[in-house]
Amino acid sequence: MTDPVTLTRTGNIGLICIDNPPVNALSFAVRRGLVSCITQADADSKIDAVVIWADGRTFPAGADITEFDRPPIEPALVDVCDHIEGCSKPVIAALHGTVLGGGFEVALGSHFRIAAPGTRFGFPEVLIGILPAAGGSQRMPRITGAGPALDLMIKGSPINLEKVVALGLVDRVSLGDLKEDALNYAAEILVDKIPIRRVSERSDGFADQAAYTAAIEATRSKMLAANSPLFAPMRILECIEAAAEMPYPEGRILEYEKIRACVEHPQHAALVHAFFAERKSVKFPEAGRAKPRNLAKIGVIGGGTMGAGITVAALDAGLEVIMVERDAQSIARGKENVAKVYQRHVDKGRITAEKMDAVMARYTPATGYELLGDVDLVIEAVFEEMSVKKTVFTALDKVLKPGAVMASNTSFLDINEIASVTSRPDDVIGLHFFSPANIMRLLEIVIPDKVSDETVATGLALAKMMRKTPVRSGVCDGFIGNRMIAKYGDVASHLVEEGASPYQVDAAVREFGYPIGPFQMSDLAGGDIGWAVRKRHAKTRDPKARYVPIADRLCENGWFGQKTGRGYYIYENGSRVGTQDPEVLAIIDAERARAGITPRSFTNAEIVDRYLAAMINEGADIVHEGIASCPSDVDVIKVYGYAFPRFRGGPMKYADMIGLDKVLATIHKMAEQDPMFWVASPLLVDLVAKGKNFDSLNKG
Ligand code: COA
């Protein structure tokens, strides 16, 4: 294997080159190479200054996350950064691409920094539950003060070069070839005899001690008030606070203690899992077998909430869009729904009115299918009724050009049946967006039996253009996400029938980490939606299956949630925050009595165990049936489409972490009470018997 870090010499300047594709992550070999090259350069009498430069798309984008679950190997990155800083000759970091995490720390360990235009900088460690622990939490505030360091490290979002220059973190911007400019900068430093500036010895960031303390205290109060369950942010704050209170060598020790606590916390493993799960989910086998078709112009059938959201997502992706509605009034509303989104951007100063006009120029409203003859792909987002979908697809089949992809946004209907009405089922696919479609990142790509690889690759290409997180799903009622929610939604209603209040169920689920509970969610989405589905399923529902009619009682009163001012909660004067409703509790009591149930009390932990057991068991069945390709795809769906707390990794990762035997025990216990509902997934049973976990199915 070739060495990923090399030292060469140009005149009296040593050039250290990092070459570890794809993102030059700071793996063991890179760390060792950096130490060795700095040592060599320091000892080489022909070298007077050193440039650290990275080949390929970026300066190191961080520590190597794949090494996190292995025992640490020396040298640690913190020692590498200290070694670079300790070099007796000026070290210049030449930065481009995404200078993130450990990469940024290497840059701060260097004595001077030059960057190419367009470079992005950040400390995303918090997103995987840790903190910048190669001296970064101690070095950055020494230059910038506390505020910017807190902002960058606690949010984890990157910032651009202009901001970094303004903060004093980068000394020079390269206007030509970065490597050449860095070598020239090094020569200039030598000629001008500019003294080495070691960041760990600086204290200009502490000059205004009062402002430093105020920034720390303001952030601390905000974090305490928000009561976030995340573990790492407070540890980051403590490190930045300490930077001003102790010399670097002591701060470095504290930083180490804090990161150890983060690494040992279960949130870290869960967040690392989420990071890789998201990257794995985009790897569809079809993409390796076929190339996507061209995508420049698409059609969207329907201008309601979903159709308009999809249209905005497509316009934002730079596509031309023809939106079709059935009549003049509906298309006028559709156009208004689209324009509203951009108008809000204009009102908030996010885009100019000219930009809005330019985007809207790519949008064409229509009331017939005639204009769709040359579109590359069409997405239907009409009423969720098989006969309506079939009518649309029959009509599309007549007008679309050969090779146009025909996508349905259905959230639960059988796409094989929809495809069967066309003469080209190989072009038919499911693209299940989540509302609001221009904001939510998840896209379930549903694979019908006859779809071609090329059609799937084109669906994936669309997801990429729209910056969505695509996940592959087989065809079944509700696909992955909605099929699961149907199951644990039932459990929420069982819990209420047995004695928990909807308010306690919501509180328990929030305590677990969801932003809102299932009954708040129902009020937000509109109780009438679930009611319509239940009515439709009534004909086919097994009469022996447990059915809780409480939600129906509320709907019969016209209490559909926020939009009617009343659901499980009361929403006074259009408020979006509900208060508890004694009348709802009375209805629940009456229904319990009617069902002959004596209510009992539940602990929040019991509620969560049961709710999650149903979710995990259904997820296991979905994997077992091959609807999801692997358990981590289920996790991505729940995290990105259903607000499952990312810091718990997803339901399948959570199950692995608490132990599959524990989940199975809950299911067996519940089966004693309701054997029809609680049937342990064969996959779960098998994994427990073999002592394996879901993650064992994610490999490969
Ligand atoms: N360690 C190990 N592998 C990494 C990595 C890291 N820090 N960052 C990215 N990768 C890998 C990805 O897993 C992916 O591998 P794959 O092709 O086998 O799936 C590959 O590099 C490309 O990453 P991807 O995210 O698909 O590319 P992108 O161009 O969309 O984004 C980054 C590039 C660097 C912005 C993004 O990967 C990122 O944010 N990485 C994490 C950075 C981070 O958290 N650093 C701090 C770690 S302490």
Q: What is the pLDDT of residues 652-672, one digit of tens each?
A: 999 999 999 999 999 999 999
Count CB atoms within 10 A of the CB of residue 523. Answer: 28
Give me ligand 1 centre to Cα 123, in Å: 13
Mean pLDDT computed over 428-453: 96
484-494 per-position pLDDT tens digit: 999 999 999 99
Residue of 20, 23, 275 to test ligand 1 pocket, by largest number of atoms within 8 Å of CB: 23
248-290 per-position pLDDT tens digit: 999 999 999 999 999 999 999 999 999 999 999 999 999 999 9
Under a CB-based contact definition with an 8 Å cutoff, are residues 93 and 102 in contact? Answer: no
- Asked whether 291 lines ligand 1 (CB < 6 A), one says no
Under a CB-based contact definition with an 8 Å cutoff, are residues 412 and 445 in contact? Answer: no
The whole-angstrom separation of Cα 683 and Cα 680 is: 8
At 560 the pLDDT is 95
- Residue 319 scores a pLDDT above 90: yes
Annotate 653-691 with DSSP letters as a single string: HHHHHH-HHHHHHHHHHHHHH-TTT----HHHHHHHHHT
At 700 the pLDDT is 65
- Asked whether 65 lines ligand 1 (CB < 6 A), one says yes
- Asked whether 125 lines ligand 1 (CB < 6 A), one says yes
Give me ligand 1 centre to Cα 28, in Å: 16
- Asked whether 136 lines ligand 1 (CB < 6 A), one says no
Average pLDDT along the chain: 96
Percent of the chain past pLDDT 70, that is, above it, reads 100
At 674 the pLDDT is 95
Residue of 65, 69, 126 to test ligand 1 pocket, by largest number of atoms within 8 Å of CB: 65
Mean pLDDT computed over 616-624: 98
Active-site hit among 85, 125, 497, 498: 125
Give me ligand 1 centre to Cα 270, in Å: 17
Mean pLDDT computed over 148-153: 98
β-strand 159-160 against 120-122: which pairing, if any?
antiparallel
Tokens linked to 64: 């190597």
Atom of ligand 1 nearest to the CA of 276: 13
Respond yes or no: is residue 125 known to be catalytic: yes
Active-site hit among 74, 85, 105, 257: 105
Count CB atoms within 10 A of the CB of residue 531. Answer: 17
- The residues facing 297 across adjacent strands are 320
- Asked whether 98 lines ligand 1 (CB < 6 A), one says yes
357-376 per-position pLDDT tens digit: 999 999 999 999 999 999 99
At 272 the pLDDT is 95
171-193 per-position pLDDT tens digit: 999 999 999 999 999 999 999 99
Atom of ligand 1 nearest to the CA of 279: 19
Respond yes or no: is residue 325 known to be catalytic: no
Kindly indicate the confidence band of residue 699, based on its pLDDT and cuts at 50, 70 and 90. confident
Give me ligand 1 centre to Cα 55, in Å: 16
- Residue 480 scores a pLDDT above 80: yes
- Residue 566 φ/ψ, nearest 5 degrees: -155, 135
At 102 the pLDDT is 97
- Asked whether 102 lines ligand 1 (CB < 6 A), one says yes
Give me ligand 1 centre to Cα 158, in Å: 14
Kindly indicate the confidence band of residue 1, based on its pLDDT and cuts at 50, 70 and 90. low
Give me ligand 1 centre to Cα 284, in Å: 18
- Asked whether 64 lines ligand 1 (CB < 6 A), one says yes
- Give the closest residue to 378 by CA, choosing from 321, 457, 425, 441: 321
- Give the closest residue to 695 by CA, choosing from 638, 617, 632: 632
Q: How far is CA 255 from CA 82, 134, 150, 220, 293, in A?
A: 14, 8, 14, 18, 50
Amino acid at 60: P
- Residue 147 scores a pLDDT above 70: yes
- Residue 116 scores a pLDDT above 70: yes
At 585 the pLDDT is 98
Atom of ligand 1 nearest to the CA of 280: 19
Nearest CA to ligand 1 atom 20: 22
- Residue 526 scores a pLDDT above 70: yes
- Asked whether 274 lines ligand 1 (CB < 6 A), one says no
- Residue 187 φ/ψ, nearest 5 degrees: -60, -40
- Asked whether 101 lines ligand 1 (CB < 6 A), one says yes
- Residue 695 scores a pLDDT above 90: yes
Mean pLDDT computed over 92-117: 98
Q: At what angle do helices 660-673 and 651-658 cross, to 10 degrees?
A: 100
